[in-house]
Structure 1
Amino acid sequence: MKTAVTYRIRIVDLLVALALTLIVNFPHLLYSGEMHGRRPPGASSDYIAVQVFYFFLASWVVVSLNTVRRFTFPRKIALSIVVTMLFYLFMPVVNRSGEWNASVFTGRIYNPFHITRWSLVLIVSVLYGKIFDLLYQKQSITLENERLKNENLQTRYNMLANQISPHFLFNSLNSLSMLVRERNNDKALEYIDRLADTFRYMLRSGQEELIALSSELAFTEAYLYLLMVRYENKLFFDMDIDERYRNWKLPVLSLQPLIENAVKHNCITQTRPFRISLRTQDGKLIVSNPSIPKIDAPEKTGIGLKNLSSRYQLLLARDVRIVHTGEEFRVELPLVEP
């Protein structure tokens, strides 16, 4: 990645140097193109070609010098001035007899026209280097902001996910203590095995954000067993899952808080059994149940649904649809196609 970035910078440097060379040599090139007949001294094609190549080499060096990240801005200016002066002093010139020499050896160093050209090379190169630094800093700030944003989202997600485990453990231990008090050892042992399965899934999924619907349903079935032990012959579940959606994904542990809330806030009795439905439709997993509020229902905090909605926003930037009529409570969870 770093090599690719460096390569792109050098390509841009090359283009800037080429453009700068054409600008400072435009009068020579134009004059050469309009010449007819005998050329005056210093206007031959060879001389112009050498001048253009020399200015291109100098522009390339000075421009590249101003895009070196490890150099400070004052150091870049100082080095650019030194390098430009050296190129100016050793610029090849040709006399009237056609002999080549460097400016410093001809004794005619001062030339206003050449000084103007080299000054333009120096100024444009330094300005380009400054613009390059500003763009680089802007890009670095943007990347750093994105990194911090992602870290913040990950931290918030972890905090939301960690809220599930303690609450779930507390309720599970309550059910287990009920079996122990009833001295139902066989069911208590089976309950412990299923409880271990559910927590094994939760621990294994702790490092995952999205998981396949099939895995979430397998965990849900183990969790439903724990609830059916608690509400024997009073709690039932219907599942209608289209096979094509089983590999689609959703945030891990999305179903458990919905089922837990349904059981927590509704009346479940032997004479009035409670039924929860899970089905897929139009790329969504729909969890619905009849609305039968308890007379002494605990206060609704909305933490579970807010938690789930926040995780969907953080991970998928999508909304969880909640529909609450007088007779039904329904939550629609978007599924993501792998």
Structure 2
Amino acid sequence: MNWQEFLENRNRFFWFLHIGGWVGFAFVHYLGSLLHDLRDLFTWVTLLSAYAGAIFSYPLRYVYRRAWNMTPLKIALVVIVSSYISGLLWQVVKNISYWEIYKHGWRPDFWLYYTQSSLWSFYIMLSWSGLYFVIKYYQMLQTEKQKVLSANNMANQAQLKMLRYQLNPHFLFNTLNAISTLVLIDENKNANAMVTKLSDFLRYSLDMDTMKKVTLAQEIKALQLYLDIEKVRFEDRLRIEFEIQKNCQNALVPSLLFQPLVENAIKYAIAVKENGGTISLKVSRFANDLLLELSDDGPGAKIVKGELARENGVGLANTRERLATLYDKNYSMVISDNVPSGVKINIRIPFQQEQ
């Protein structure tokens, strides 16, 4: 059992602190007896005192459990009264053991002498109560923190699923529309080829865990499947250039990160030009960051405050939301004009690798 599991078991953790605290109390008093040159018999008095303290403080746990949901004023009253009663009973036992054991049976004539110094015992029990509530509140806050983290994680997972489900129909609609067009113009061979590539791409998508990051090599493989589908339509009009550093092959990236960006580039840069165009993908590492650059040499677009003025679909917005969900604020996505023409998208994410 590791330390975290031990702390999460509240009953076991209570007994560890309870027994450990009173053992420490006995040890401190024993060291004090050595400083005052007291007889060895005082050791038994100290042990009995610590044992009695553990016995009388233990019921406070159940008293405070019942008072837990009371108002703060009532809880304070319960703590003070309970601590004084348990402290008083503890002091009586301590005095009896002191007079009967250490003083060899001699005791004062008046029985109220057995309650002397009860205020000091009350302070000890009050300290025990304070520690109990501090630890209890700390455990409660930790539990609530775990619940919040779990809820946030579930919300992030749900958001990623929503974004992914939004992406797939969008891609399928465009691809099926292209296949339909090929069939209408009697390009059955190309239509069959596109259906085959689409099948491979969807199989790849279903086999991958959409909630986890994939290596860059896997993402490039998925991107190549998508480009093979588009090449059936555009043939030589669609040209691709990859420039990827070797030390980035195992870097982790969100699955299907490039597909919606390339889809936008094909729609607005390649399809509108008679001779087609080139889409370039560059991946490099700088310090602890992974740098991704996707560009085209199309006619370009109007960029307003880092956003495409024509962007009204799910491509860029979807990508930005996924990055924000996965990396919080530790990412950047910048859209700018490519030189000499076209649009360039630069993405920076933390460089991570599979463990």
CA distance in 2, matches of 1:234, 1:316: 36
Indicate the SS of the match to 2:242. strand
CA distance in 2, matches of 1:252, 1:232: 26
Aligned to 2:217: 214
Deviations 1:207-248 (A, max 9, x none): 432001111111111111111122232111112222321111
Aligned to 1:72: 66
2:170 is aligned with 1:170: no
Inter-CA distance 100–306: structure 2 relative to 1 (3 Å threshold): farther
Alignment of 1:178-217 (within 5 A): 178-217=181-220
- Give 1:168 deviation, angstroms: 0.3
Deviations 1:173-214 (A, max 9, x none): 011112211233332222111101111122222443200111
Which residue, 11, 17, 20 being the options, matches 2:22? 17
Aligned to 1:57: 51
- Give 1:22 deviation, angstroms: 7.6
Aligned to 2:264: 261
Unmatched runs of 5 consecutive residues or more in structure 2: 69-74, 303-307
Deviations 1:70-120 (A, max 9, x none): 94347996987776566445441335995359x9xx983543424223323
Inter-CA distance 33–225: structure 2 relative to 1 (3 Å threshold): closer
RMSD between aligned residues: 3.7
Inter-CA distance 267–292: structure 2 relative to 1 (3 Å threshold): farther
One-letter amino acid matched to 2:162: M
Which residue, 290, 293, 300 being the options, matches 1:286? 293
Contact 2:336/2:344 (8 A) holds in 1: yes
Aligned to 1:155: 158
Unmatched runs of 5 consecutive residues or more in structure 1: 36-43
Contact 2:201/2:225 (8 A) holds in 1: yes
CA distance in 2, matches of 1:16, 1:285: 57
CA distance in 1, matches of 2:174, 2:24: 73
- Give 1:274 deviation, angstroms: 0.9
Inter-CA distance 163–270: structure 2 relative to 1 (3 Å threshold): closer
Which residue, 99, 102, 110 being the options, matches 2:104? 99
CA distance in 1, matches of 2:91, 2:156: 56
CA distance in 2, matches of 1:321, 1:5: 41
Which residue, 324, 330, 333 being the options, matches 2:344? 330
Contact 2:87/2:118 (8 A) holds in 1: no
Contact 1:17/1:63 (8 A) holds in 2: no
Task: Kindly name which structure, 1 or 2, has the bigger radius of gyration based on alpha carbons.
Answer: 1
Aligned to 1:3: 6
Contact 1:65/1:80 (8 A) holds in 2: no
Q: Mean Cα displacement is larger for which, 200-209 or 267-276? A: 267-276
Q: Hey, which of these two has a bigger chunk of helix by percent?
A: 2
TM-score normalised by the chain length of structure 1 = 0.79
Q: Mean Cα displacement is larger for which, 303-312 or 192-201? A: 303-312
Contact 1:267/1:293 (8 A) holds in 2: no
CA distance in 2, matches of 1:294, 1:34: 89
CA distance in 1, matches of 2:272, 2:144: 60
CA distance in 2, matches of 1:200, 1:261: 23
Inter-CA distance 85–216: structure 2 relative to 1 (3 Å threshold): same
Which residue, 304, 307, 312 being the options, matches 1:301? 312
Aligned to 1:40: none
Deviations 1:18-46 (A, max 9, x none): 565688x69x947x7457xxxxxxxx423
CA distance in 1, matches of 2:152, 2:101: 68
One-letter amino acid matched to 2:343: F
One-letter amino acid matched to 2:168: S
CA distance in 2, matches of 1:306, 1:224: 21
CA distance in 2, matches of 1:271, 1:214: 32
2:44 is aligned with 1:46: no
* Identity within the alignment, %: 18
How many pairs are equivalent?
324
Contact 2:91/2:115 (8 A) holds in 1: no
